[in-house]
Each structure stands twice: as structure tokens, then as C-alpha cells.
Amino acid sequence: MKKILITGGSQGIGSSLVKKLSGENRTVYFTYNKHKEHALWLAKETGSIAVKCNLLVPEDISNLSKVCGNIDILINNAGVSEIKLFTDITDDDWDKVLNVNLKGAFLVTREFIPGMISKKWGRIVNISSMWGIVGASCEVQYSASKAGLIGMTKALAKEVGPSNITVNCIAPGLIDTSMNANVESKCIEEMIVNTPMQRIGTCDDIANAVEFLISEKSHFITGIVLPVDGGLSMQ
């Protein structure tokens, strides 16, 4: 029985991950912060376990560890975005995005990786973004945080590989989630035109890629950044 922890599991990509990975001799825990009603519904529907957790609060991380115990698979999915001109980004704007997207992943990973090392087995998948690879205008702090997550993935993969732990990264492109609801329709249309697959991505596209990276089929794959963007980042 594998134990999986998904951060930011109540909405969007996280919700699809919970649905996709629940069952099949797996116990799935997922964190939520604000969307309690949907989180509890999702837990009931999938048989997973919802845990309220602010990833930046030490007491919440400690409680999360007590609830989950040692885990086998960690998926760092929690994230926020913000669209602003670079000159309009405040110190608080910068800290909020970098803290949630990068520091939160660091804190959760640091909490749970000792258990993986002691068992000599583990799988970590970080959800970055294609913008962490190519950068996005008016999303400098978001792009920086996701690029940082890519660097963390590669460095950690080298460090814990001898303990039979793989660390990989998914870089989604434009995905149909509430995070992109405030993107202008003409921008979305332009991105679709520039996407070789000629469509917007779905949360299931990401969940399918994650399922592969935590499976035994990928046991010799580590330190990679896998774009799941329909080819958009090639442009």
C-alpha cells in the first residue's frame, strides 16, 4: 500500500490528481487551505484524506506529518499566480508567490524526505510550469518561482538518487483551470494557434503524466523536466 501526499489538492490540477491516484492499493492524502467544502466533498468521493494546511506555517506542517506519517510519494502541486507589470510588483507580491510556489515545496519536501531516505525508496514530482522554462511577460515572479522549482528538482535528484528516490518535474502549458480564468480570451486563442496540438490542456493531461512518473515504468527516470503543453514551449 503506497501512501501519496498531494499539496493543493482541492482544486484544478490537484483535484484531478486526487481523483486519478486514489484507490489501487494507494492511500492518498491531500492538503487544502481555503476550499474546505470542496475538499471534504472530494475526500468523500474518492476515499482520500483531506488535511487543512498552510504550507508556510510550521505548526501546520508538523500536524501534516503527524496525520500522514511516512509517505512514499510526494507531489508538490500547491501554487498561486499573479499577472502584473514588473514595475508594479510589490515586495509582498514577490514574497507571496515565491513563498507558496517554491518555499512551500521546499518545506514539505524537507519534512517528508527523511522517511523516504530511511526506506531507500521514494517518488517526488514537482508541478512547475512551461513559464519556468521560457518565462512569461507580466508574470515575472511566477516564472521565477517555477524556474526555482526546476532547479530544486534537478539538484535534489542528484542528492537523493543513491537512496533510490526519483525527483522529477512536470511543466504544464496553458491548462483549463480557474488560475487561467482571468487570462484574456484573445491571449488564449493566440496561444492555441501557436500550440502544435491546437488545443488547451486539461487537468487530466497533467494527472496522466504524473501517474507515469510515479509508476515502476519510470524507475530509471530522474531529474527531468517534462513539458505537458501540447508543444507550446517549442515556439
Are the beta carbons of 179 and 81 closer than 8 angstroms? yes
Strand order in the sheet with 73-76: 49-52, 26-32, 2-6, 73-76, 122-127, 165-172, 225-228
Are the beta carbons of 141 and 94 closer than 8 angstroms? yes
β pairing state of 165-172 and 73-76? unpaired
Can you tell me the distance from the alpha carbon of 218 to that of 169, in angstroms, rounded to the nearest whole number?
A: 13
Q: Which of 81, 109, 110, 72 is nearest to 13 (CA)?
A: 81
Q: Cite the active site residues.
A: 142
First to last CA, the chain: 42
Cα dist from 54 to 16, 35, 61, 108, 165, whole Å: 20, 12, 8, 11, 26
Q: What are phi and psi of 218, to 5 degrees?
A: -115, 25
Are the beta carbons of 175 and 200 closer than 8 angstroms? yes
Q: Which long-range contacts (CB under 8 A, 24 or more apart) does 132-136 make?
A: 132/171, 133/171, 133/225, 133/227, 133/233, 134/233
